[in-house]
Structures are given as C-alpha cells and as structure tokens.
Amino acid sequence: KLAVAPTLTEQSTVEKTPIRAANSSTVQEVTSTPAQQPVVKQEVRSTYYDKQITALNAAAEQDHAEVLAESHSRAVGDANTLSQANDYTNKKFSDLKSEVDDNKDQANAGTASALAAVGIPQVEAGSDFMVGAGAGTYGNQSAIAVGVSGHITAKTVTKLAVTGDTNNGVGASAGIGWNF
C-alpha cells in the first residue's frame, strides 16, 4: 500500500498530503524522481509476510541442518571405511612381510644345511669306510650334518648325509662317484 505525494511541476507548489505516522511495521523511504521531484514511498509490512519469511527461514535452517547431519554421517562412514581399508591393507602387508621373512629364514637354513653336508670329510684312499660330521651357518641360520662314506670297490665311493637346521628343517643327501 503506497501513498505517493503529488507530482510537482515548475509552476506548482507542493500540497502537503497527510501520511500515516510510521510505526514498527512501516518503512518510509524518500527518493528523487528524474526531474528531482521528491517522492515519499511508504511500505507496510504485514504480519502475513513476516510469518512467511520466518517460516521460510526456519525451513531453510532445517534443510541446512539436515544436509549438515547427512554430510557428517557420510564423512564418519567414509572415515570408518577408510580406516578399515587401511587396517586390512596393513595386515596384508604385515602378513606378506612375515611370509617373506619366513622364506628367507628357510632359505638360509637350507644353505646352512648344504654347507654342513659338504663339510663332512670324504673317505680316504686305503680306507674302506668313514663316519663324519659337519657344521654350517648362513645368514641367521645354522645346521649340522652327520654322514658316512665308503669304498664299494677300489674305484667307487658312496656318501650319505643327514642334516638338521635351526629352522627345524631336516635334509638328506646321497651320492656316488667313480675313480678313473
């Protein structure tokens, strides 16, 4: 509801038109027209529009709160999923490292066993039979071996050995050789 003062011309004078007194639900604004004629606009804000604005603000705040709650819930869920994925990956890498370390220990123990078996002395010419022992170490593992060697004929030698290592592995070897 607007009350507008009459338009002024160069010849006319302004008549004062009574305008209601402003109150808490009224806004007054003074502007100028292109011809520099003062115009007074009066807006009356109704209670209806105030209620509409308040309701829209409340709805917007509720929507904002719901979006924030959903975003927070998703962020917490994503963080939990990421944490579980990290834990799973870390466990798998730990298991893989453990398996590689075990394989390394087994390989070192096998090498130590081979060195122990090679360390058993061979029967000498002129003797028929020999019992011997050997020891070996490689990396972080050790092994012992016990073996026998003997002449089957003057030109044929056999050798047997059994090994045990610090990785609870047991091995055996056998060989035969001919002199020419």
Q: What is the pLDDT of residues 70-99, one digit of tens each?
A: 999 999 999 999 999 999 999 999 999 999
Tokens of 109: 């123990």
d(CA 180, CA 178): 7
Beta bridge partners of 132: 147
Structural domains for the chain:
108-178 (3.30.1300.30)
Q: Quick one: 112 exposed, middle or buried, by C-beta within 10 A (0-12, 13-18, 19+)?
A: buried
| % of residues, the chain, pLDDT over 90 | 62
CB 176 within 8 A of CB 153: no
- Give the Cα separation of 55 and 87 in Å (integer): 47
pLDDT digits (tens, 9 = 90+) for 23-70: 555 555 555 555 555 555 555 567 778 888 888 999 999 999 999 999
- Determine phi and psi for 37, rounding to 5 degrees: -100, 125
Structure confidence at residue 9 as a pLDDT band (50, 70, 90): very low
Alpha carbon distance 5, 16 (integer Å):
8
Contact present, 159 and 147 (Cβ < 8 Å): yes
Res 8 pLDDT > 50: no
